[in-house]
Amino acid sequence: MSFAIELAELGFFPDQIIRYGVHGLVKERLEESNELASGNHATVLERFVDSLRDAPIAEVPNLANDQHYEVPANFFGHVLGKHRKYSSCYYENPQDSLDQAEAAMLRLTCERAQIEDGMRILELGCGWGSLSLWLAEQYPNANILSVSNSTSQKAWIDAQAEDRGLGNLQVQTCDMNNFEPEGEYDRVISVEMFEHMKNWELLISKLDRVTSSEAKRFLHVFSHRIHAYHFVKENDDEWMARHFFSGGMMPSHQIFDRLQVPLQLDSSWFVNGTHYQRTSDHWLENLNRQKSEIMPILESTYGYREARRWFHRWRIFFIACSELFGYQNGEQWGVSHFLLRK
């Protein structure tokens, strides 16, 4: 680990210094990607998609759990908004709160996925249940099966569904490598899960078995407009890959131009990265403001000696997301919405 990263993790650098360093790394990443493509983005993207075909659906699902999803629910209760949406929100107005932006993205997701009451819905990667619970409440005649790789997320969502009297929501815990869907669904929805997957074609082919001829699939993934790359833990400087996205990737907004799947792209949208920038900044504000409540949670999770380091790691993570998605006014990295049909 570099000395600078060590100092940052111990809280010795002010935010503006960390942001300056991250901004430089983001600029370097973009320049390297542009140089690698050398104007031939299609060929580079084809090679990237080829690299996914020999991989399992998920490379290191247990690490994804350790890094994000088995952190106690009350940590995210302090950091996220009231819907516990651990993914990009949508700011319809400059003054919107995090709670308002969470609800706006949930509404937009349902609108673009063309959800109707009475549908059979399969959600992959349900997080802390923001969309699962929203669907169950807003569409009371729908039947929703949500799948998570995390036992703590399932326990949280189950408890919330019981408290709210929602009988139309079931949660299943499963490693996506072993996921064998059953039944028939009108919609398959996934929000910021596919970035943790590798073999998209294999996973999508599994879903094809349980969808009707009229069914559609809706994916929400963070992305770059052109480039795609893996989060690779090649050395100690690959901080993000080591602590937060082991086995993950950054998809391209153009990825479905190269994937070989039995589906057609019905519609696609690119959500400007400034929405994710503001989301990350709101998470950071909550983390800072509620430090006294959060530190005991981190101590119980990571141990007393490592709690301070992990508090600052979460701060650096949110700052890094803010700088990445806000780069060049959000025109490079953002969120892709894909609506797919047979």
In the three-class reduction of DSSP (H, G, I as helix; E, B as strand; rest coil), residue 98 is classed as helix
pLDDT of residue 286: 98
pLDDT of residue 237: 52
Q: Are 182 and 293 in contact (CB under 8 A)?
A: no
pLDDT lower than 70: segments of the chain: 1, 60-70, 233-237
In the chain, domain spans = 3-341
Give tens-digit pLDDT for 154-204.
999 999 999 999 999 999 999 999 999 899 999 999 999 999 999 999 999
Q: Which CATH superfamily is domain 3-341 in?
A: Vaccinia Virus protein VP39 (3.40.50.150)
In the three-class reduction of DSSP (H, G, I as helix; E, B as strand; rest coil), residue 170 is classed as strand
pLDDT of residue 39: 73
Residue ranges of alpha helices (H) inside the chain are 3-9, 15-37, 41-53, 61-64, 73-79, 98-112, 130-138, 151-163, 200-208, 239-243, 274-289, 291-302, 304-326
pLDDT of residue 70: 58
pLDDT of residue 63: 56
What's the rounded Cα separation, in Å, for the pair 30 and 47?
18
Q: Are 28 and 34 in contact (CB under 8 A)?
A: no
User: Can you give the pTM of this predicted structure?
Assistant: 0.94
What's the rounded Cα separation, in Å, for the pair 119 and 253?
28
In the three-class reduction of DSSP (H, G, I as helix; E, B as strand; rest coil), residue 219 is classed as strand
Q: What is the H or E stretch that residue 230 is in? A: strand 229-230
Give tens-digit pLDDT for 114-167.
999 999 999 999 999 999 999 999 999 999 999 998 888 999 999 999 999 999
Q: Are 216 and 187 in contact (CB under 8 A)?
A: yes
Hey, which residues does 333 pair with through a beta bridge?
224
DSSP, residue by residue, 258-297: T---S-EEEEEEEE-THHHHHHHHHHHHHHHHTHHHHHHH
pLDDT of residue 234: 61
